[in-house]
């Protein structure tokens, strides 16, 4: 199979995303993801000033908060900001508070959403209209988004950061680089919707512009068929241009899966993964290989069955005997309750005139629908005979 793979891991200049790309992403992600982005982006405003907080309250001065936080000194900080997240204007306020206690060398920080509102940008609305959306559908979605945003007011996120990690965490907040692998996800609780918190990465520059985005539904889990949505570096034209893409994991062959992943730079990428032992690739995922049976012909009356794995469910063994003209002279269907691994079993049928038998066919299955079989012979079993045996 020939795969044309762009090298996403090399350093390339990142082009500005077109407004249409940002707007299309709105249609491909849920409002819940927008909310989670917001929670992670609370610190993407302007940070400046000296540590001049009064009564342990830094107001809106993030530098003041950082200087207190690095030593886990009790302090409060409020961030008010507006930012365009993928074509949605988010206006909000978040309060941060460091508690006095330190538990097992951990600093306790509480984040509380005190205000939030969401609305589409004019450019996003125009692009949605140009792509077939109606004004009524846009208004309805925006109404739903606004109500969802209101429900988030009062949400608290409590974090316990190890003191040796606190500087790293605060630096990432200040630089605007976030992903689900960051300590925020490791050390915090209080998120509403863990499935949304754990499946995307985002990079934002200091001016609040999204420079890369990637959402992976299965978190690189080869046992699931995942869908990835995000920005892909398109190098086929000879220049690094960004394009929105959505792709699903697929099978390279029966033992390997093409697993779409988020790269270290938060772009869509892929890897060729070998399925674990005793699994096969089926419809884009590595699944447990079904218990198979081998069959060995002993005679026209006897077929020896071998189980590769323990078969703990009932299965049918159908034997058909045919004469030299292909006509059926015997049809046998026997139900077996189970079969142990490596325990041979003689499956016997009887026919009074074995000279007439020229062909024997054996089929094994556990349910009537072949697409749902989990017990079956590993290959079609058919034997031709020349004489009596």
Per residue in 299-317, pLDDT tens? 999 999 999 889 999 999 9
Burial annotation 130-161 (CB, 10 A radius, 16+ → b, else e): eeeeeeeeeeebbeebeebbeebeebebebbb
pLDDT at position 5 over 50: no
Q: What is the mean pLDDT of residues 68-89?
A: 79
Report d(CA 82, CA 314) in Å as an integer: 62
CB atoms within 10 A of CB 207: 9
Tens of pLDDT, residue by residue over 232-275, are 876 665 444 566 677 899 999 888 999 999 888 778 889 999 99
Q: Do residues 187 and 110 touch, judged by C-beta distance below 8 A?
A: no
Point out which residues pair with 247 in neighbouring strands: 228
Per-residue pLDDT band at 130 (split at 50, 70, 90) = confident
pLDDT higher at 379 or 248: 248
Pairing of strands 250-253, 256-262: antiparallel
Q: Do residues 107 and 72 touch, judged by C-beta distance below 8 A?
A: yes
**Res 207: pLDDT:** 52
Report d(CA 44, CA 159) in Å as an integer: 19
pLDDT at position 52 over 60: no
| Paired tokens of 354 | 């074995």
Per-residue pLDDT band at 3 (split at 50, 70, 90) = very low
Report d(CA 180, CA 199) in Å as an integer: 7
Q: Do residues 110 and 74 touch, judged by C-beta distance below 8 A?
A: no
pLDDT higher at 324 or 184: 324
Report d(CA 8, CA 14) in Å as an integer: 12
Q: Which of 41-50, 288-297, 351-360 has the highest mean pLDDT?
A: 351-360
Point out which residues pair with 295 in neighbouring strands: 305
| CA 163 to chain CA centroid, nearest Å | 31
pLDDT at position 171 over 80: no
CATH architecture of 292-384: Sandwich (2.60)
CB atoms within 10 A of CB 2: 3
| Paired tokens of 108 | 């306790």
Average pLDDT, the chain: 75
**Res 365: pLDDT:** 92
Pairing of strands 156-162, 106-120: antiparallel
Per-residue pLDDT band at 100 (split at 50, 70, 90) = low
Report d(CA 113, CA 154) in Å as an integer: 5
**Res 323: pLDDT:** 95
Per-residue pLDDT band at 190 (split at 50, 70, 90) = low
| Paired tokens of 211 | 């420079």
- Listed in order, the ranges of the chain carrying CATH 2.60.40.10 are 292-384
| Paired tokens of 373 | 């079989």
| CA 99 to chain CA centroid, nearest Å | 35
């Amino acid at each position: 199979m020939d795969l044309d793979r762009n090298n996403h891991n090399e350093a390339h200049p990142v082009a500005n995303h077109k407004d249409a790309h940002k707007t299309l992403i709105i249609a491909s992600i849920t409002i819940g993801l927008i909310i989670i982005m917001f929670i992670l982006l609370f610190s993407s405003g302007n940070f400046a000033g000296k540590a001049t907080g009064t009564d342990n309250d830094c107001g809106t001065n993030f530098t003041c908060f950082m200087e207190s936080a690095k030593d886990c000194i009790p302090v409060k900080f409020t961030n008010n900001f507006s930012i365009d997240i993928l074509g949605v204007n988010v206006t909000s306020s978040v309060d941060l508070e460091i508690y006095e206690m330190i538990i097992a060398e951990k600093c306790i920080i509480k984040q509380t959403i005190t205000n939030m509102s969401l609305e589409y940008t004019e450019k996003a609305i125009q692009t949605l209209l140009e792509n077939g959306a109606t004004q009524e559908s846009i208004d309805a979605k925006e109404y739903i988004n606004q109500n969802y945003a209101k429900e988030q007011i009062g949400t608290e996120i409590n974090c316990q950061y190890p003191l040796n990690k606190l500087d790293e965490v605060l630096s990432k907040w200040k630089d605007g680089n976030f992903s689900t692998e960051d300590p925020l996800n490791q050390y915090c609780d209080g998120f509403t919707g863990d499935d949304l918190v754990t499946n995307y990465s985002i990079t934002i520059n200091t001016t609040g512009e999204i420079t890369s985005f990637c959402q992976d539904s299965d978190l690189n889990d080869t046992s699931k068929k995942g869908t990835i949505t995000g920005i892909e570096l398109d190098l086929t034209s000879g220049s690094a241009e960004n394009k929105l893409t959505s792709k699903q994991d697929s099978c390279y062959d029966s033992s390997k899966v093409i697993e779409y992943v988020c790269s270290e730079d938060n772009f869509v990428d892929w890897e060729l993964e070998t399925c674990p032992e005793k699994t096969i690739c089926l419809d884009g995922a590595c699944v447990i290989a079904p218990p198979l049976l081998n069959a060995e012909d002993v005679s026209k009356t006897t077929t020896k069955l071998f189980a590769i794995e323990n078969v703990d469910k009932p299965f049918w063994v159908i034997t058909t005997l045919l004469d030299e003209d292909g006509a059926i002279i015997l049809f046998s269907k026997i139900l077996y309750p189970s079969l142990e691994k490596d325990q041979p079993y003689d499956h016997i049928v009887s026919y009074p005139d074995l000279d007439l038998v020229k062909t024997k066919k054996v089929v094994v299955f556990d349910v009537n629908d072949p697409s749902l079989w989990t017990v079956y012979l590993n290959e079609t079993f058919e034997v031709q005979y020349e004489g009596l045996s």
